[in-house]
Structure 1
């Protein structure tokens, strides 16, 4: 019973991360990975072996890093989603709170170390 709840949360997290166009995928994948590890190790292994999602999770769990490409995309999407939210919210104090949250989030996120991809560089050919 409890395992199916974890699998359900994980499934919703993967769906939200993959299909919501304005939100970064990485936090949803990390949440899904944690849920699947508790509810279905088989599904967690599938997610970690996935050609698109696996490298992001591996970088995070092994080195606590993200790739430069993921970081750039996520930064653009974070700024875009917060900007849209600030545009839509009518109250000035809410706009201020959103701006404060954006600044705090970006200060944390931009300080995360980046993965150096050396496999495709000219030195390795």
Structure 2
């Protein structure tokens, strides 16, 4: 196994670990880490990639992203809610003009997220 394949394998394993943590922590995403893991495994271990793609719960989301760059509407709504909450907290607890930072990030990120097709 080449050094790059070892690197991708390790990165895939770390991404799966972060995805598993994301299952338990509501503020941390799961599927984006599994998408990254599938990409890494595609470059290092096709059997692990196939295992992720065939997972009954997360496989359809990974395949939808690969095929169409699609994000489920529930994911878009969840991201919108999370950004709204962080923006509100910024305006409540940060001195001016720092609350504009989470607002700006939210506008940019949500513009991109909502431009993706629905899964």
Report the TM range for the smaller structure's normalisation.
0.7 to 0.9
Of 83, 87, 90 in structure 2, the residue corresponding to residue 83 of structure 1 is 87
Gaps of 5+ in 1: 116-125
Of 96, 101, 106 in structure 2, the residue corresponding to residue 102 of structure 1 is 106
Q: Distance in 1 between matches of 2:21 and 2:88?
A: 18
Larger mean Cα displacement after TM superposition, 52-61 or 15-24: 15-24
Equivalent pairs counted in the alignment come to 114
Of 52, 63, 69 in structure 1, the residue corresponding to residue 74 of structure 2 is 69
Gaps of 5+ in 2: 1-5
Q: Give the TM-score of the pair, scaled to structure 2.
A: 0.74
Aligned 8 A contact 1:37 1:44 in 2: yes
CA RMSD in angstroms comes to 2.5
Q: Distance in 1 between matches of 2:15 and 2:21?
A: 10
Q: C-alpha deviations, 1:88-108, integer Å up to 9, x for none? A: 853433321111101111111
Residue 34 of structure 2 is matched in structure 1 by 29
Q: Distance in 2 between matches of 1:58 and 1:26?
A: 11
Distance 1:78 1:96, change over 3 A: closer
Q: Give the TM-score of the pair, scaled to structure 1.
A: 0.71
Of 37, 41, 44 in structure 1, the residue corresponding to residue 46 of structure 2 is 41
